[in-house]
Amino acid sequence: MAEKKTGSKKEDIRSRPPVAVVLGHVDHGKSSLIEKIKEIKITEKESGGITQHIGAYQVEHASEGSKEAKKITFLDTPGHEAFSAMRSRGSKVADIAILVVAADEGVKPQTKEAIVFVKKAGIPMIVAFNKIDKPSADLDRVRRELDQQGVLVEQWGGKIPVVETSAKTGQGLHDLLEMILLVAEMENLVADFSAPAEGVIIESYLDSKSGPMATVLVRNGVLKTGDIISSASVTGKVKMLEDFQKNPIEQAFPSTPCLVVGFDGVPAVGEKIKVFETEESAREYVQIELKKTKDIEVVTAQEGQKVLNLIVKADVQGSLEAIEGVLKGFPQEKVALRILKAEAGEVSQEDIKLASSSKAKIIGFRVKTNPVAKILAESQNVPVIVFDVIYDLFQAVRNLMEKYLEPEVERTDLGRMKILEVFKTEKNRQIIGGKVIEGEIKPSTKLEVIRSAGGEEKAVGKGRMISLQKDKKAADKAIKGQECGLLFEGDVKIEEGDILQSYVEERKKAEL
């Protein structure tokens, strides 16, 4: 197996643009921040409109007093789940993480998850306090909540820089770009421009016209048209390269995202790609890597366990793998989650037929349903639920699973009453008198009958209180120390000396 090799010289080791990932809680402005940067740095004239989602884009920014503009690569994926999928294959993708926190809301669950991801990835962090234009912004509160998560910002004596931004007004975006370049300079990001190209798959899908498509983020060397390439699962020859604006290019330099046409199959997100001397050596590499691949884990339900069958469709392979990774991590002790099909691309007739025959739910992320499939779905009453926010998709699947669960009954004990006398017994009803020895008892509550036998208390039956009287008058409750009479209805005959335990039950939605 011969990888393509070249000799490296000192002058070939040069600085490369930083690769930044934007993370944070849903609705804290991640997407708005990214779109505002695009609006400022990538004009319609330059891009012709970015119509294709390839998972990354580049901007250029010139620092004050500098004539030379420097590039920054931004990764644009559904969130930290996608990066976890990449990291699971041993791929380092981002150099810097931008943690977006809404100044008016502070640290939320996904903020905490993103912080954990950044720490595991071992990359420097920049915090962007977004929505600072809002009157309810409270920066000290956000700093305090970040400190509780182990993120100590510079203003409070820490090492993590903070930039105050507003995606709405554009405030602070130039400062954010400046900070990214400053952190990149301190990290001394370099690459060998003469080495055989190496990169990471950050998006992939099957195009109906062009075949397998993959976005490669070049990490080292220069990727060129004509190069023989291989990932851990597929090989190919670079027939065409495009930049993020769909412009054809002849070569892609380190930290550059490029769309590659020429793979013989769809590679998995997070797989590394390498350049080889011959097609034979590239295929040999795939065979070696495939032997390392573990068998796919099949979810089997226990006897009597409820099962939710799911068909998952997503816009691109990166989104799909992120979704699958999180869904497989859902608790499945109570309800088994079985993914019958997971695929990038629009919802098709085959998906509807499979859902109908297997009673599966179809969940989509940023996909469309083709017209024929839409008609079939309506006729066969197969719902197709599509989401634009990955967090909403996860919550919807969790809700679907929880619908299979029986509501949980929560019991609250109110008081105990000792029976002093049984006045009247008639079928399943009794009029009894006693004294409250603990807490309080109320009408319309449930009653448990407890009887002592051999020195041990034992529940012998249940019933309910129809009405309550004190001093021969109707009462709404009786408290500890008070005597009262009540009308009992139940499945057991009460005896003198029995204890009545008064309680209420509340049905609550069961959780996974």
Q: Do residues 54 and 161 share a domain?
A: yes
Region 357-378: mean pLDDT is 91
Q: Do residues 56 and 151 share a domain?
A: yes
Q: Do residues 30 and 130 share a domain?
A: yes
Q: Do residues 458 and 374 share a domain?
A: no
Q: Do residues 258 and 119 share a domain?
A: no
Region 138-158: mean pLDDT is 92
| 189 has a pLDDT exceeding 90 | yes
10-69 pLDDT tens trace: 677 899 999 998 888 877 777 788 888 888 776 433 333 333 456 788 998 887 767 788
| Distance (Å, whole) CA 86 – CA 75 | 12
- Tokens 């919550």 found at: 395
Strand residue runs (E) in 265-407: 272-276, 306-314, 335-344, 361-365, 384-387
| 90 has a pLDDT exceeding 60 | no
Closest to 195 in 3D by CA, of 235, 248, 234, 253: 253
Quickly state the pLDDT bin for 79 (edges 50, 70, 90).
low
Region 77-90: mean pLDDT is 54
- Predicted confidence at residue 50, as pLDDT, reads 37
- Predicted confidence at residue 297, as pLDDT, reads 42
The CA-based dihedral angle spanning residues 50, 56, 61, 63, taken in that order and rounded to the nearest 10 degrees:
160
Region 259-288: mean pLDDT is 89
Backbone φ and ψ of 33, nearest 5°: -65, -45
Among the candidates 266, 292, 318, a domain finishes at 292
Residue 318 or 265, more confident:
265
> Which tokens sit at 351?
């998906």
- Predicted confidence at residue 51, as pLDDT, reads 36
Least confident of 8-12, 16-20, 74-78, 84-88: 84-88
CATH number at residue 251: 2.40.30.10
Q: Do residues 279 and 350 share a domain?
A: no
| 81 has a pLDDT exceeding 60 | no
CATH number at residue 389: 3.40.50.10050
Region 415-439: mean pLDDT is 95
- Predicted confidence at residue 296, as pLDDT, reads 38
| 9 has a pLDDT exceeding 90 | no
Strands 96-102 and 125-130: parallel
Region 90-102: mean pLDDT is 84
Q: 490 lies in a domain?
A: yes
Region 188-210: mean pLDDT is 87
Least confident of 64-78, 80-94, 447-461: 80-94
Least confident of 71-85, 410-424, 466-480: 71-85
> Which tokens sit at 232?
């851990």
Q: Do residues 125 and 245 share a domain?
A: no
Mean pLDDT of the chain: 86
- Predicted confidence at residue 298, as pLDDT, reads 41
Range of the domain at 368: 306-402
Least confident of 36-45, 371-380, 444-453: 36-45
Q: 353 lies in a domain?
A: yes
Q: Do residues 184 and 202 share a domain?
A: no
459-491 pLDDT tens trace: 999 999 999 999 889 999 999 999 999 999 998
- Predicted confidence at residue 101, as pLDDT, reads 93
Q: How many structural domains comprise the chain? A: 4
Q: Do residues 113 and 257 share a domain?
A: no
Region 240-259: mean pLDDT is 93
13-24 pLDDT tens trace: 899 999 998 888
Quickly state the pLDDT bin for 295 (edges 50, 70, 90).
very low
Q: Do residues 230 and 118 share a domain?
A: no
Quickly state the pLDDT bin for 397 (edges 50, 70, 90).
very high
| 340 has a pLDDT exceeding 50 | yes
Q: 488 lies in a domain?
A: yes
Q: 11 lies in a domain?
A: no
- Predicted confidence at residue 268, as pLDDT, reads 79
- Predicted confidence at residue 389, as pLDDT, reads 82
Q: Do residues 206 and 243 share a domain?
A: yes
| 279 has a pLDDT exceeding 60 | yes
Q: How far apart are the first and last CA of the chain?
A: 49
> Which tokens sit at 240?
């065409």
- Predicted confidence at residue 29, as pLDDT, reads 76
| Distance (Å, whole) CA 326 – CA 390 | 10
Q: Are 79 and 322 in contact (CB under 8 A)?
A: yes
Q: Are 488 and 430 in contact (CB under 8 A)?
A: yes
- Predicted confidence at residue 499, as pLDDT, reads 96
Q: Is 181 helix (H, G, I), strand (E, B) or coil?
A: helix
Task: Please state, in angstroms and as integers, the Cα–Cα distance from residue 329 to each residue in 91, 323, 332, 437, 498, following that order.
Answer: 21, 10, 8, 49, 50
Q: Are 256 and 58 in contact (CB under 8 A)?
A: yes
| Distance (Å, whole) CA 287 – CA 285 | 5
Quickly state the pLDDT bin for 109 (edges 50, 70, 90).
confident
| 309 has a pLDDT exceeding 50 | yes
| 372 has a pLDDT exceeding 80 | yes
Closest to 206 in 3D by CA, of 316, 111, 297: 316
Quickly state the pLDDT bin for 294 (edges 50, 70, 90).
very low
Task: Give the rounded percent of residues in the chain with a pLDDT score beyond 70.
Answer: 89
Report the alpha-carbon angle 368-350-234, nearest 5: 80
Residue 119 or 6, more confident:
119
Region 192-206: mean pLDDT is 89
Among the candidates 402, 431, 466, a domain finishes at 402
Closest to 331 in 3D by CA, of 355, 305, 312, 311: 305
Least confident of 34-38, 217-221, 282-286: 34-38
Q: Do residues 98 and 39 share a domain?
A: yes
